[in-house]
Amino acid sequence: MKEQLDILIEDFHSKKGNVISLLQSTQDLFGYIPEEAVFYFSEVLDIPTSVFYGVATFYAQFYLKPRGKNIITACRGTACHVKGSDRLINSVKRELALSDEEHTTKDLNFTLEQVACVGACSMAPVVIINKKV
């Protein structure tokens, strides 16, 4: 992993303030931001881990845990809730054998994420699979 991270560092180390770009490239490479990468960047670049975690937790686009190959996004907005999104979400959880605390299957094939609204209320309840409604 360190060899891959060194390549990313070469691309970004000379430019101060490129933490976001470095994290984006890391996530593109691994599908998430591994803890080992954060500690390695911190050590090599002499930037506190809190800076990396601050950015990674501020932006919703960053993931600190592995995600599945297939992303299922379930809307929990008002219209979807009224139309039974809870039943739909529970059905998906049962089918994928996910507990309330788990979001990704053990085989890393699926991740179930729940969002406040996807903006397609007329189609409620809405589930998006791999960016397709």
- The pLDDT tens digits along the chain (133 residues) read 999 999 998 887 656 678 999 999 999 999 999 999 999 999 999 999 999 999 999 999 999 999 999 999 999 999 999 999 999 999 999 999 999 999 999 999 999 999 999 999 999 999 999 999 9
CA distance 40 to 116: 34
Which residue has 């303030």 as its token pair? Answer: 17
Contact 18, 9 (CB under 8 A): no
pLDDT in the model for residue 18: 87
Domain spans, the chain: 2-58, 70-129
Residue spans of alpha helices (H) in the chain: 2-12, 19-30, 35-45, 49-58, 78-82, 85-96
Please tell me the distance from the alpha carbon of residue 90 to that of residue 114, in angstroms, as a whole number.
11
Please state which CATH number belongs to domain 70-129.
3.40.30.10
